[in-house]
Amino acid sequence: MIRKLIAAGALVAAMSAPALADPIEGNWKTKSGETAAISACGNSFCVKLRTGAHAGKQIGKMKPDGNTYSGTITDPAKDKTYSGSATLSGNTLKMRGCVLGVLCRSENWAKM
């Protein structure tokens, strides 16, 4: 009986412990100096601007694959959405947006 109570207590503790955040989650300083927040949304990660002229606008959605991510990224000034990818290396996130997989633009974001 005591073993069952201990096992049940351990199960409850494990279920109530917070899940570890993915390294991509958090606030990032963009190339233009704005702050972008990346947070979990379903089985993906949503990118939302926190500061600047387009604050509050979601500008991307990426699915994880190890330390790389793929999905879409939106240029908020032009309101155009592109095929996107992100690669995480330490405190640097390399964001890349492409048109037809050929014309691409990249920029590095720094973890805040």
Give me the pLDDT at residue 15, please.
44
- C-alpha to C-alpha distance for 52 and 30, rounded to whole angstroms: 11
Give yes or no for residue 2 having a pLDDT over 70: no
Rounded-to-integer distance, Cα 92 and Cα 108, Å: 6
Q: Is the pTM of this model over 0.85?
A: no
Q: How far is CA 11 from the centre of its chain?
A: 30
The residues that bridge with 80 in the sheet, in sequence order, are: 75
The predicted-structure confidence for 91-104, as pLDDT tens digits, reads as follows 999 999 999 878 99
Please tell me the distance from the alpha carbon of residue 90 to that of residue 97, in angstroms, as a whole number: 21
pLDDT in tens, 11-68: 444 444 456 678 899 999 999 999 999 999 999 999 999 999 999 999 999 999 877 9
The residue to which tokens 């955040």 are assigned: 21
- Domains by residue range for the chain, with CATH: 2-111 (2.40.128.520)
